[in-house]
Chains A and B, each alone.
Chain A
Amino acid sequence: MARPPGGGVMSQARVRRNDWGSIRVPDVGSWTPTKAVSVVIPTFQAERTLPLVLAGLAAQTYPAHLLEVIVSDDSPEPLAGLPEVRPERTRLVRGGASWGRAAACHRGALAADGEVLHWLDSDMLVEADHVEAQLRWHDALDHAVVLGHKWFVDPSPLDGLSPEEVRDAVAAGRLEEWFAGQDREAHDWVEEMYERTDDLREAGPRAHRAHVGATASLHRALYLEAGGMDLALKLGEDSELGYRLAECGAVFIPDRAARSWHLGRTHVMRRQDEVNDYNFPFLADRIPDGRVKRATAGRQYAVPYVEVVLDVADLRHADVVATVDAVLASTVPDIVVTLVGPWASLTDERVAVLDDPRLDTRIVHASYVSDSRVRLVDTFPDQREGRSPATFRLTLSSAGWAPRPRALNRMVREIEWTHHGLRSALMPDGSTARLERTAAVQRALRVRSASDDLDDVVDELFGSWWVDGPETGWAPSRSLSGARLPGRSGAAQDPAALPDTEGGDRKERAAAPAPGAPPAPPPPSRLRRTLVRVRNRLRSHA
């Protein structure tokens, strides 16, 4: 899907990395909202708190005609109906293909009419300007993900209050007084990250890790472009969505002016270790930039870290195989290779096998058709048509130069350390290896104007750098080819006399004594060596 520049926002601000401090938004109360917002509330047995949440929403400063509320119920026992005190346009939706919070959120998002989606958990009591505060950012940017601020509190001060009283208290700004004197807890690891990164301004490409959906908002188009919630996830769905939103170029903006009160502690905070243990494999499978969750042992995951792209047209098969093998031998295990070639032309039509003009294509095809890490595609993948499946895409302009085992890791490590969006290696033959950050290219595509060079924009948004290929660990691909497994042929050996080496590979076999051979003589003593030296010298003078 080709996208017009700018999305739904006329003149897009350009945020460098995640430094949202460069965007100026109006103060709350001093601007005229224009965007319709759908507040999506996923509910599960929320009879006790939902009336309070809706009461809070009924007191919003955001214009009522631009605000709708969708209660997306996931309870096994359906919600009897909507509470009395609620915003005028409030709907209840149910049913769907799956269950869980992710499914409820997704159902609500699909049912929503607003240009902006605003997630709100069913235990979140918001201040009157909460929605307005968040919506300010979506006028400036079509790829903002705004994170509301929340305090975890004991809800007992609300006991016995009617929803009308809560609504009026929100409208009058009296919540603060009610919870005064209580222990307020902030969301501890999120607050720690804010603290460390100047409210995510310095978090760079890792800002998505703070994505928590209890109160957050984003353009509905961005949500759909990212692919929506992953319904297979019953926990951790916000973290995973955050990664994909980042891949689409999103900027994550914590807004401390969007205040809210979380009624009670979350289950994550109560059973943190169990939740983490459960989430580990799900998130490891889907979020490649959480490197510490991934095994070094050559395992494959749903979402690769690096995609390597090579157009094999007009290249010799030996070069291609040498290069692709070198890539697959990289110390970065979670890698996929995309080979672009005229694969569709390889029909079963009768040909003179060795004189076939498509001989190179056939050999490359046969080499990789069975490798699950290699995709064979017919057209060059363009990020404008769809983002790379991986965090980084490495495009090789030729098969003349290939990475030594550590070279890819080095390039990726350095682009991660620098937060850059593009890192290019120049080879001595003039070819290049171009490593681009999917998130950076996607954001550049969003904000560029028609006359902009895409790489200029990537550089402006994230930074770019050229390196010398050989210095970065690249070598002529032919010099890296040929590593194959050791042979196992030969006459049958006596099973009782096999060398005690693991696998019996060539090198180890050579080191082991041949069966039945006499023990090697001990090394000559020092005295003996001196004697030999003296004798030789005397002879040479004779």
Chain B
Amino acid sequence: MSLPRVLERAARPTLLLAQPGLADRAALPEGVRLESLGDPVAGADEERWGCVVVAARDRAALRAGLEAPPAVGRTRALVTWLAEATTPLVPRVRPEWPDPVELDAHLTDDGGAVTRLRLAGVAPTQELLARLRVDAGSRGTAASGGLVVARDDDPDAKVPADVLRGGAPADDPSPVTGRAAVVVRGAGPVAAEVTVDEGVLNPTGFRRDWERLVVELSADVLHGPVTESTVAALRDAQGVRVPGSATAYDVAALAMAGVPLLASTPPEGLAPALAALLTAEVDLSDAVAREVHSVHLRRAAAAGHSLLAERTRLGAAAGVRVAGLPTVSVVLATRRRALLDFAVTQVAKQRGADIELVLAPHGFDLDAELRAALRSRLGEIPLVVVPSPRSARFGDVLHAAAQAASGEVVLKMDDDDWYGPDVATDLLWARRTSGAELVGMPAELVYLDQLGITVRRRAVVERSAQVVAGGTMLIGRDDLRAVGGFRSVVKYVDAQLLAGVRLAGGRVHRTQGLGYLLRRTATGHTWATELGYFLSRRTVAAQWRGFRPSPLHEVGPDEWPARPAAVS
């Protein structure tokens, strides 16, 4: 449905908050007031609207425009119009508002989306808009992390903002905050950097197969800045070549979404690490190399151009403490003293995340000397040791460790698998962008100890899933507590947690797994039957003789497996 038609049907008086270029002021119908989305609106706080219409090109533009929603009175209805969308927006209704009487959300024939929410009475427009912004992005990007942003200096505000996106800086520090707000853009001291909304543009939906070879990012594909619709249309390509005319935003947005990019001349304004990746030699016809490239691009984009990166940068400039990625407690249970050193090495390697290790020796304890040795290996990472007797059920061992955790999220790691140094950080980002309660990786790469081969299994990545590898499950401590923690069982602890989360309405998201390598050391008389499962043509995508970590593993020389004894 076109925007004029939406406006025609909207109840009067109507307030239209539209991104510049979407609405023609001269052609507006009677009773519609047009304001530019994102700009302050003056003198409208006493109005009672029949309908407020928000029009934006896509979800990311909508969210950016509602970063600091204007105070514009009260309204009975809110209509959202997006020119490009892959799914319609469904806003939630806060309990303190009048009851909803109509909610209609649908995709339009021309690739956009319209959502109409009508209430039994009027509600504060600013609250409706704030709620809309949250619902338009992932759960992980809902909160501001403590940074208060305003569009313009509001002389009436009792507590001034930390950051102003326009206007002039105050001359004196505010008596309430003890500081003056910083201004970005225009004449401000902090440069505005290219920022991409990772709550909208992210790797979810990444495809590891392709139907087309490398495509050019041409006008056929691009009708304006990159949107989630652009990304969706490019998912089936082996890669995307970026022309010299592309903007830094386009490149950063595609990189954040994990689209494999190539460019001969990267645009100005990109983080140097991202610009360097664009011109790197990559064999995109190799599925693993292609995905590794995608992962590097996502990481560089996240570090340089995400909302979180901007918040961190602005917070530092404004002298404000802001929330970063959550702190992580690694929970690691083991029955095998011989594997302690290896397992702790995998934790000590982790970088980019604030972590502690809760080690749960099962059936043995660590003496002071060993603890000291592990502490020195862990460096800055705090160590908590929670021993359990051999008689304890494995689920209880993990539960005891999780109880001792102080991090905001818990990451379960296994004692004999290989972890690349960015596994924890990758999982935290996956949690932030997907909004899922539990995130993990597929057990895609598996080293079969007895045969001395590495297999890569077919795995679907970057989407909601039923199963993730038990040694990569990351879950918020509150969510873990809500499902009763690790279940008191001897086996299938991982599957029980996944089932518990899903049963409670939680989502499980599976991100890429190239930094995780499962070691299959089958024991007992059924080992060969179990290995046969990993050789089955139904699951095997590739096989290599020997130990073949991916480039994301960065395996140290002392972490390599011993050569296998020949099979019988």
Contacts and interface: CB of A to CB of B under 8 A. Distances in A.
Interface of A: 397-398, 426-432, 453, 455-456, 459, 464-471
A264 to B, nearest CB: 47
Contact of A431 (B453, B537, B545, B568): B568
Nearest to A469: B532
B535 interface: yes
Given A427-B528, A471-B532, 6 more contacts: A426-B528, A431-B568, A432-B567, A466-B543, A468-B536, A470-B532
Interface residues of B, number: 19
A471 B536 contact: yes
Interface in B516-564: 526-529, 531-533, 535-537, 543, 545-546, 563
A468 B568 contact: no
Contacts of B536: 468, 471
B535 A467 contact: yes
Given A466-B451, A468-B535, A428 B568 contact: no
B532 A468 contact: yes
B545 A426 contact: no
A426 B535 contact: yes
Contact of A430 (B453, B527, B545): B527
Nearest to B539: A468
B14 to A, nearest CB: 65
6 contacts: A426-B451, A428-B526, A428-B528, A432-B567, A469-B532, A471-B532
A476 to B, nearest CB: 13
Nearest to A458: B545
A427 B531 CA distance: 9
Interface centre among A465, A466, A470 (most CB of B within 10 A): A466
A432 to B, nearest CB: 6
Q: Which 6 A-B pairs have the closest CB atoms?
A: A468-B532, A430-B528, A459-B545, A428-B529, A468-B535, A466-B535
B546 A456 contact: yes
Given A426-B451, A466-B453, A471-B537, A455 B568 contact: no
A456 B546 CA distance: 8
B537 A398 contact: no
A358 B51 CA distance: 98
B543 A426 contact: no
B300 to A, nearest CB: 34
Contacts of B532: 426, 428, 468-471
Contact of A465 (B448, B531, B543, B546): B543
Contacts of A470: 532
A291 B287 CA distance: 34
A468 to B, nearest CB: 4
Contacts of A453: 563
Contacts of B546: 456, 459
A470 B567 CA distance: 17
Contact of A455 (B526, B527, B545): B545
A401 to B, nearest CB: 10
A456 B568 contact: no
Contacts of B531: 426
Contacts, number: 48
B544 to A, nearest CB: 8
A413 to B, nearest CB: 14
Nearest to A398: B568
B567 A430 contact: yes
Nearest to B536: A468
B535 A397 contact: no
A456 B545 CA distance: 7
Interface centre among A428, A429, A459 (most CB of B within 10 A): A428
Contacts of B527: 430
A456 to B, nearest CB: 7
Contacts of A431: 568
Contacts of A469: 532
Contacts of A464: 545
Nearest to B522: A430
Contacts of B533: 468
A466 B456 CA distance: 12
A469 B531 CA distance: 11
A427 B526 CA distance: 11
A530 B536 CA distance: 50
B543 A430 contact: no
A468 B453 CA distance: 14
Nearest to B544: A459
A467 B539 CA distance: 11
Contacts of B451: 426, 466
Contacts of A468: 532-533, 535-537
Given A426-B531, A468-B532, A471-B536, A397 B568 contact: yes
A464 B532 CA distance: 16
A366 to B, nearest CB: 28
A470 B563 CA distance: 26
A57 B397 CA distance: 84
A291 to B, nearest CB: 23
A491 to B, nearest CB: 51
A532 to B, nearest CB: 47
A192 to B, nearest CB: 27
A465 B563 CA distance: 17
A465 B451 CA distance: 11
Nearest to A414: B537
Contacts of B528: 426-430
Given A466-B451, A470-B532, A426 B537 contact: no
A488 to B, nearest CB: 43
B145 to A, nearest CB: 49
Nearest to B526: A428
Contacts of A428: 526, 528-529, 532
Contacts of B563: 453
A432 B564 CA distance: 15
A272 B534 CA distance: 51
Contacts of A459: 545-546
Given A466-B535, A468-B532, A471-B537, A426 B567 contact: yes
A432 B535 contact: no
Interface in B193-245: none
B538 to A, nearest CB: 8
B532 to A, nearest CB: 4
Interface string B309-335: 000000000000000000000000000
Interface string B66-96: 0000000000000000000000000000000
A470 B533 CA distance: 10
A154 to B, nearest CB: 47
A468 B529 CA distance: 9
Interface centre among A431, A465, A470 (most CB of B within 10 A): A465
A25 B343 CA distance: 49
B196 to A, nearest CB: 42
A49 to B, nearest CB: 50
Nearest to A460: B545
Contact of B537 (A397, A432, A456, A467): A467
A194 to B, nearest CB: 25
A426 B451 CA distance: 9
Interface centre among B448, B527, B546, B568 (most CB of A within 10 A): B568
A465 B526 CA distance: 21
Interface in B238-288: none
A430 B528 CA distance: 5
Nearest to A456: B545
